[in-house]
Amino acid sequence: MAIDDNAGKPTETSDALSGATGGATSGATGGATSGATGGATSGTTGGATGDDSLVDFVRGSFTSGGVTHDVYRSGEGPAVIVIAEIPGITPKVADFARRVRALGCSVWMPVLFGQPGRVSNGRYIASSVARACVSREFSAFATGRTAPVTDWLRALARNAHETCGGPGVGAVGMCFTGGFALGMMVGPELIAPVLSQPSLPIGFSKKAKASVKLSSDDLRIVKERVGDGVCVLGLRFTGDPVVPAERFETLRRELGDGFIGVEIDSSPGNPWGIPKNAHSVLTEHLVDEPGHPTHDALNQVLEFFSSRLLPG
């Protein structure tokens, strides 16, 4: 597998993404500040106001089942798979990954769509949505079916665990990918799944709203794992029509106390002035100020990863 060392000199390794941590650790750019809530500095990356060069990440690729995607990786420690939302790995997604890295974890960001590092805008979002909706990897409109790309993500998680060690692997999906961490739980290495505004399947029928985008067999395994002590953390804004309340109701019914649902008030007149179209809890609609519910949700995600992947 080719690993791009960001210096134009690809090297060959026999183990997918092995050695990629040699490139960028949490201090590589003046990087993420210490502590669970410390913000990621813009440094040499251009931050969230311009395109992000991602120079503090190493770009490689990973192949499984005949499918290959690029993966950006940084840091050392137990792995967390950060699966970007539409339109792709934006500067704000990368900054979230830097916060996870600051905990003492390695972060792995697969490129499933979009242009890594590009700032989000309306035209870019529309283009990425159009491509993703017709991709067979995502089966965006299907209910009662696990997205095919989940098989590749499970293989990536296995590789990350073998490479990085630790008690297991964490994963966070966002928006279009929000529910993918749930399907990844079929693999025993996934011990810290986060579903941030899980938006699939697309649809406004009663069945689509209640669907959690899993096959019956995969749901059975997920419930068994929850019974064994694995918890699932989910995030959504209450007024987000793309992530209906019925979806979280299904998760509570199926997973019981094993589902931790964080629902942030975005109703008209809410005390924080959160807009009714708020959608991206950890990125685009994050208000990183103490006391704000999105700030609290971010801290809860970071603590969720820390307590499960970095015991003691």
Q: Residue 209: enclosing H or E segment and its boundaries?
A: helix 206-210
Tokens of 302: 């970071």
Q: Is residue 35 part of a domain?
A: no
| Cα distance from N-terminal residue to C-terminal residue, the chain | 35
Whichever domain contains 70, its CATH number is: 3.40.50.1820
Question: Is 280:286 a contact under the CB 8 Å cutoff?
Answer: yes
Sign of torsion over alpha carbons 202, 93, 37, 107: positive
Quick check: helix, strand or coil at residue 169? Answer: strand
Asked, for residue 27, whether it belongs to a domain, the answer is no
Q: What is the pTM of this model?
A: 0.86
Token readout for 310 is: 């970095």
Residue 258's contacts (CB-CB under 8 Å, 6 or more residues apart) are 226, 227, 230, 231, 232
Residue stretches of the chain with pLDDT short of 70: 1-49
What is the pLDDT, as a whole number, of residue 13?
A: 33
- Sign of the dihedral defined by the CA atoms of residues 165, 167, 168, 173, in that order: negative
Q: Tell me, what's the pLDDT at 312? A: 73
**What local confidence, expressed as pLDDT, does residue 206 receive?**
96
Does residue 33 lie in a domain region?
no
196: burial class by Cβ within 10 Å (0-12, 13-18, 19+)? buried
CA atoms of 178 and 122, how far apart (whole Å) = 20
Q: How confident is the model over 22-77, as pLDDT tens digits?
A: 334 333 333 333 333 344 443 334 444 699 999 999 999 999 999 999 999 999 99
236 domain-assigned: yes
Asked whether residue 26 is domain-assigned, the answer is no
CB contact at 8 A, 103 and 305: yes
Residue 6 · residue 55 · CB < 8 Å: yes
Structure tokens given for 285 = 């609609």
Give the pLDDT score at 24.
42
Domains in the chain, number: 1
User: Is residue 142, in this structure, part of any structural domain at all?
Assistant: yes
Which residue range forms the structural domain that includes residue 284? 2-19+43-309
At 49 the pLDDT is 65
CA dist 249 and 244 (Å) reads 9
Q: Is residue 34 part of a domain?
A: no
Q: What is the pLDDT of residue 7?
A: 30
102 lies in some domain: yes
